[in-house]
Structure 1
Amino acid sequence: MELHIVITGRKDLAVQLYQQLREAIASGRLAAGAQLPPSRLLAEQLGVSRKTVSDTYATLTYEGLLVGKTGSGTFVNAWAPQPGRVQTATDLACAANLAKWASLPSPMRHPTRDSTLRYEFIGGATSRNQFPQDEWRRCTQDALRRIAQHSGFYSQPEGLPALRSAIAGHIAFSRGVKCRDSDIVVTSGAQQALDLIARVVLEPGTIVAMEDPGYSPARQLFMAMGARVASVPVDEDGIQVEGIPEGTRLIYVTPSHQFPLGMPMSLARREALLARAFKLGAIIIEDDYDSEFRYSGRPTDSLQSMDTRGVVTYVGTFSKTLLPELRLGYAVLPPAIHGAVLKAKQLTDQHSSTLAQWALAKFISEGYLLKHIRRCHTVYAGRRERILQRLAGDLSPWFEVVPSVAGFHMAALCKVPLSITLLIEMAREAGVGLYPLHVFFHDAPVRPGLIIGFGAIETLDIDPALDKVRDILQQIG
């Protein structure tokens, strides 16, 4: 790769070269440790004498900006002077807006690979050992062959027809969703689906109704778009529909496995919610994030399957069934917002990665996804049962579980006064990742406790981890 230096005319060649190299180092374009081309090669590229380049390198080395390493070449000195003062956020005209974004909390940010603890009870994450590597590799190889056969043009913003067809069949079978291929838009995870819907439905100052406690990343997204988020309490039947205010444009709910508490929305509450949304002229976002995994009771269909008036947008993801890093999700759109969301998708990122789309389409159509879900269901059911046994046993003096029948996390509420912050800090020192429940409460009275995920922790690690938690609880009383 050539070093970007522009020499004009035939005068002051050494001065031009010196000034440009010095500016590149001072600005950071040539980073500390970067290797410069050999003097002979750079001279040939610029059409100047080698002596001009060598003299310039020598001057910059004398000034401490470059360092020569015998047998290796010339490098930017790691201790080169830093660039001068640049504008900070407070200097900019958009300072207030930047501060708003910077102040948004990140309660569900996952740890990096390096900061992951020995025992992780984090929610929304899966065990890499469960991922079907061989089947996915075959599907990816097939996807590469398909891409090689195509013309190299951009793809459709709504997603590949093969994947939309596979998704439609899968969610009709597993969740009772009523849709055609043309109702689906493929997104980069469920979070992008929420973003696209919010973009076309909301304006600054409009009202979004959300469950409280609820999914904080959705709340923060709506607030960042200037919406007023109305917190609506939940009870054992789900969102209290009568609390949805007049003027609401968007209603965000998790009816199959309420986030974070876990209970399903009752049939009567679902019917009331659909009627309320129709009366308000509001769109409902049904976030069905992990309901493929169900452990007891009769299966419940999606809210979308009950919708006869076109008010529900069904949002799903493959982050929970496969891997979060794949960044593949989808939305089933009602006719009223379909065209607008497709235009927003095209303007946002043109389309999601076709490599992953082709691979997932084959993965679903070949039956690998259902096989994988069934295999994971058995594993998760065992982990869930063991955690429930411990919470009903030696951990029962401190916690009680909120009843839930789906997903791969549960909420454990404190039965006695307890410093959750201290518990989490001490658990981290012991290599156990615990996560608080209170961060998902906003206006509703906080119910202290833990959100306990069992997707990422191995089954044999559950008892050793909970033994450590029990010992800490006994220590802090």
Structure 2
Amino acid sequence: MELHVVINGRKDLAGQLYKQLRNAIESGRLAAGTQLPPSRLLAEQLGISRKTISDTYAQLTYENFLTGVIGKGTYVNARTARVERKQNHTELAGFEVIESWRTLPVFLRHPTLEGSLRYDFIGGATSKGQFPQDDWRRCTSHALRQMAGSKGFYSLPEGLPALRNAIARHIAFSRGVNCQDDDVVVCNGAQQALDLISRVLTRPGSIVAMEDPGYPPARLLFGTHGATVVGVPVDAEGIQVDKIPLGTRLIYVTPSHQFPLGMPMSQARRVALLAKAHELGAIIIEDDYDSEFRYEGRPTDSLQSMDERGIVAYVGTFSKTLLPELRLGYAVLPPAIHEAVVRAKQLTDLHTSTLPQWALAKFIAEGCLLKHIRRCHTIYAGRRERILSRMAGDLSPWLEAIPSTAGFHMAVMCKAPIDIALVIELAKKVEVGLYSIESFFYQRTPQAGFLMGFGAIETLDIDTALDRLRDILQQVA
């Protein structure tokens, strides 16, 4: 009897074979004790190399799906029946804590490959086709050589000196950040940087002020530390400083590209914010998540570059300039909290993986990052202009874009009453991914609109997607 396996094309042959064999075993189609064809015979039947077959068998054997019998062949292993755990979490002493985590809302989760749509305006994501794979592969090979020459000890919690130096140079050049290598702490994405800063500054009941609307994962994170999060309204100039409450010890802002509305914080508002934080004895977290992509006007320096008192913690990420999957971010910390954050980092995870750190250090030092940003800037600028043109054209009866000079998303607000949830559901049916802006509001009354990301959607797909959105709006509005 021949084993039923279908190979499509010539890409990822081992992956195709692995997935089909594992699915067949897990579904019971290949029963325990079934002998698989010898690797040579299956290779001839499928027209692929014997090594691909052998490697796949070896992987499934390692994962206990297969077992090899010397002199006889390879067989499907008997799977251990899953043991049902009868204890309910409500019986545990820590039930209330567990429940508080279980009931947290999920925000900004990116879809899996299987759940992605053809035309997706998701925010915070980039097109993987733009990633410089060859340059990164070369830098990763360099990283492996560096690790091979190390003693194999744990690394520094604040990050590799080579990467901290590369980051300090890069952000001084691109964002005007005033820092030295020792001020930088490498983190697993910007989210860990926010977590570490909050850990060392807040206790249950501490007041944290942040923009409203704002970034929900930051708000939820501060809340899990027991902080009382206060949403502060924003206007065309940014956060309304005079509404930051007394007793605030941490202020979270996105001054270069307000999330999610997109406007930059004015110079006067920045000065006022620094003065207010000093008066309160508070630390400001400046989340500068995607401002390296700027399309209009003179580039604005970071808020940190204006800080003369050591009260701004500057947080950046490579998830937007490179790939979210790398999970690399950093914090430039004022002296008052630097040592505390490093100790918290060490207790949390010891240190960030050194392999991507070595690779990124070389990637930045060789100018690959700046070259990649410039290339992406041209692409994003074209996509932004296309969306703005359509918002001012045939979509103008229903939608209006908020002026945004940086990043790769924009807020598009409704000019007429629209059932946002219905539009989103109808858009999914025609392979268009749309996302409401309402969930980013916290204590303010939500406004109706969409967060339109243009990092992941291809330029040539924008008009097709917006044509479909227009047709939907004509039906429902």
With normalisation by structure 1, the TM-score equals 0.84
Query: What are the residue-to-residue correspondences of 1:301-316 with 2, within 5 Å?
Result: 301-316=301-316
**Unpaired stretches in structure 1, ≥5 consecutive residues:** 1-29, 39-69
Distance 2:27 2:467 in 1: 49
Report 1:240-279 matches (<5 A).
240-279=240-279
Listed as ranges, the matches of 1:371-390 within 5 Å are 371-390=371-390
Q: Does structure 1 conserve the Cα–Cα contact (< 8 Å) formed by 2:161 and 2:181?
A: yes
State the shift of 1:438 in Å. Answer: 0.2
1:448 aligned partner, one-letter code: A
Q: CA deviation at 1:73?
A: 4.6
- Any stretches of 5+ residues in structure 2 without a counterpart? 1-25, 36-71
SS state at 1:405 partner: coil
Residue matched to 1:225: 225
Report the Cα distance in structure 2 between the residues aligned to 1:226 and 1:350, rounded to whole angstroms: 24
Q: 1:92 is matched by which residue type in structure 2?
A: L
Shift in Å, 1:402: 0.8
Equivalent position amino acid for 1:76 in 2 = A
Amino acid at match of 1:364: I
Residue 400 of structure 1 pairs with residue 382 of structure 2: no
1:418 aligns with 2:418: yes
State the match for 1:76 in structure 2.
Answer: 78
Answer whether contact 1:258 1:264 (CA < 8 A) is retained. yes
- SS at 1:352 equivalent: coil
Alpha-carbon displacement from aligned partner over 1:335-371 (angstroms, at most 9, x marks no partner) = 0000000000111111111110010000000000000
Match of 1:181 in 2: 181
Aligned residue type for 1:442: Y
User: Do the aligned partners of residues 391 and 339 (structure 1) sit closer, same or farther apart at CA in structure 2, a change above 3 Å counting?
Assistant: same
Q: Residue type of the partner of 2:180?
A: R
**Could you tell me how far apart the structure 2 residues matched to 1:265 and 1:416 are?**
28
Amino acid paired to 1:212: D
- The answer on 1:129 being equivalent to 2:129 is yes
Dislocated runs of 4+, deviation >6 Å: 30-36
Which string of whole-angstrom CA distances, capped at 9 and with x for unpartnered residues, describes residues 86-112 of structure 1?
Answer: 211111111111111111111211111
One-letter amino acid matched to 2:277: A
Once the two structures are superposed, residues 197-255 of structure 1 have per-residue CA deviations (whole angstroms, 9 ceiling, x without a partner) of 00000101110001000000000000111100011000000000011111111000000
Amino acid of the residue matched to residue 115 of structure 2?
S
Which residue of 1 is the match for residue 213 of structure 2?
Answer: 213
Q: Which residue of 1 aligns with 2:9?
A: none
SS at 2:372 equivalent: helix
Q: CA deviation at 1:35?
A: 6.9
3-state DSSP of counterpart to 2:315: strand
Name the counterpart of 1:428.
428
Conserved 8 A contact 1:31-1:76: no
By how many angstroms is 1:34 displaced?
10
Q: Secondary structure at the match of 1:411?
A: strand
Q: Deviations over 1:411-430 (max 9, x none)?
A: 00000000110000000111
Q: CA RMSD in A?
A: 2.0
The equivalent of 1:460 in structure 2 is 460
In structure 1, C-alpha distance between the alignment counterparts of 2:107 and 2:159, rounded to whole Å: 31
With structure 2 as the length reference, what TM-score do the two structures score? 0.84
Other structure's SS at 2:245 match: coil
The whole-number CA distance in structure 1 between the counterparts of 2:226 and 2:416 is: 39
In 2, the alpha carbon distance for the partners of 1:375 and 1:345 equals: 34
Q: Report the equivalent of 1:45.
A: none
Cα distance between partner residues in 2 of 1:88 and 1:474: 49
Distance in 1 separating the partners of 2:100 and 2:366: 46
In our comparison, the structure showing a higher alpha carbon Rg is 1
1:119/1:307 Cα in 2 relative to 1: closer, same or farther (>3 Å)? same
In the alignment, which residue of structure 1 is the partner of 2:42?
none
Q: Quick one: distance in 1 between partners of 2:27 and 2:476? A: 50
